[in-house]
C-alpha cells in the first residue's frame, strides 16, 4: 500500500490539511471553527478582540506622547548642573575673597613703603654721623709710625730670632713626620688561591700526591686546607688552598714546581684567585 502511494503524483487528501489549517487560524483569531457544513457566527468575540486591540493602540500612543514630552522638557531644561541659588552664592563668596585679597595687598604695600622710608632715614643718619670719627682716628696712625721709626734699629734682631725659631720648629716637625713614616706598617698585598690538582688515573696515590704538593716551600707561600673532589669513573682530584704574597711568590713558579712531580700529577688549574 505504501509503495503504491509513493508512486502517486496527485494529493487527494489536501482538503484535510486545508481544513485543519483554517481551524487553527480561526482559533487564534478568537472564533469557533466550523464543525459542519455552515460556519457559526462569532460576532461578539471578534468585537471584543477588536476593542482590546484599539485600547492597546491608544495606550501605546499615550506612552509615545509622554516619552516625547519628557524628552522635550529634558532638552529645554539644563541636563546637569547646580541650581541658580548655589551659583549665586558661589559667585558672592568669590567676590568676598577677592575683596579680602585686595585689602591684604594694600596693607602689604603700605608696610613696604614704611620700611623703605625707615631704612632710608637710618642710612642717612649713619652717613652723617660716621664721617667725623674717621677724621679723629687719623692722628694715632701717625703716632704709631713715629714709634716704629724710634725702634727701627732693634727690628732686625727680632726678625732674625723669629726666623731661627721658625726654622727650628719646621725641622722638628719634619723629623717627627719621618719617624712616623718609619714606624708605620707597610701593607703587604696577598692573594688567596684555590688549586685543582688532577692525577693520571684512579690508581694514583692521592696521599702521596698531596705530600708532593705540600713539599713545595717558598718565602711568602702558605698552604691551607685541602679535600678530594670526585671527577668521575672513580677518579678524584685534589683541591687545595694557599695564601701567597704577591711581591714574593709567582704562581708560574708554583705551577712549574707542582707539575715537576709528573709521576703523580697530570695537570693543575687555578679555580679561585682572590686578593686579600
Residue that wins the pLDDT comparison between 253 and 56? 253
φ, ψ of residue 269 to 5 degrees: the values are: -130, 145
18, part of any domain? no
Residue 229 is predicted with a pLDDT of 94
d(CA 195, CA 216) in angstroms, rounded, equals 14
* Lowest pLDDT segment from 23-37, 54-68, 113-127, 133-147: 133-147
148, part of any domain? no
Residue 122 is predicted with a pLDDT of 85
Residue 41 is predicted with a pLDDT of 45
Residue 75 is predicted with a pLDDT of 61
Tracing cell 688561591 back to the chain, one arrives at 193
The predicted model scores a pTM of 0.35
46, part of any domain? no
Considering its fold, how many domains does the chain have in total?
A: 1
172, part of any domain? no
Each residue's pLDDT tens digit, 24-63: 888 887 655 555 444 444 444 555 666 778 788 888 888 8
200, part of any domain? yes
249, part of any domain? yes
Q: Which domain holds residue 214?
A: 190-275
Residue 237 is predicted with a pLDDT of 94
Is 70 exceeded by the pLDDT of residue 70? yes
Contact 246, 191 (CB under 8 A): yes
Residue 192 is predicted with a pLDDT of 94
Q: What is the CATH number of the domain that holds 234?
A: 3.30.70.60
41, part of any domain? no
The count of other CB atoms within 10 Å of the CB of residue 267 is 13
Residue 39 is predicted with a pLDDT of 47
246, part of any domain? yes
Q: Around 76, how many Cα atoms within 13 Å sit in the side-chain half-sphere?
A: 6
Residue 102 is predicted with a pLDDT of 92
Amino acid at each position: 500500500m505504501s509503495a503504491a502511494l509513493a508512486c502517486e503524483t496527485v494529493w487527494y487528501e489536501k482538503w484535510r490539511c486545508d481544513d485543519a489549517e483554517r481551524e487553527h487560524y480561526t482559533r487564534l483569531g478568537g472564533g469557533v471553527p466550523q464543525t459542519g457544513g455552515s460556519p457559526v457566527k462569532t460576532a461578539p468575540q471578534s468585537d471584543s478582540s477588536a476593542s482590546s486591540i484599539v485600547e492597546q493602540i491608544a495606550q501605546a500612543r499615550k506612552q509615545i506622547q509622554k516619552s516625547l514630552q519628557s524628552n522635550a522638557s529634558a532638552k529645554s531644561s539644563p541636563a546637569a548642573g547646580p541650581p541658580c541659588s548655589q551659583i549665586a552664592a558661589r559667585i558672592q563668596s568669590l567676590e568676598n575673597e577677592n575683596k579680602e585679597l585686595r585689602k591684604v595687598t594694600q596693607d602689604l604695600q603700605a608696610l613696604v613703603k614704611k620700611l623703605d622710608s625707615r631704612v632710608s632715614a637710618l642710612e642717612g643718619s649713619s652717613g652723617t654721623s660716621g664721617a667725623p670719627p674717621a677724621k679723629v682716628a687719623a692722628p694715632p696712625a701717625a703716632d704709631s709710625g713715629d714709634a716704629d721709626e724710634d725702634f727701627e734699629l732693634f727690628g732686625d734682631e727680632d726678625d732674625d730670632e723669629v726666623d731661627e725659631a721658625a726654622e727650628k720648629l719646621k725641622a722638628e716637625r719634619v723629623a717627627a713626620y719621618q719617624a712616623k713614616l718609619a714606624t708605620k706598617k707597610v701593607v703587604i698585598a696577598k692573594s688567596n688561591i684555590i688549586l685543582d690538582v688532577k692525577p693520571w688515573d684512579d690508581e694514583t696515590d692521592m696521599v702521596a700526591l698531596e705530600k708532593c704538593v705540600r713539599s713545595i716551600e717558598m718565602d711568602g707561600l702558605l698552604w691551607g686546607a685541602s679535600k678530594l673532589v670526585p671527577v668521575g669513573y672513580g677518579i678524584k682530584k685534589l683541591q687545595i688552598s694557599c695564601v701567597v704574597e704577591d711581591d714574593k711568590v709567582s704562581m708560574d713558579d708554583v705551577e712549574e714546581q707542582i707539575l715537576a712531580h709528573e709521576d703523580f700529577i697530570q695537570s693543575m688549574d687555578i679555580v679561585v684567585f682572590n686578593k686579600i
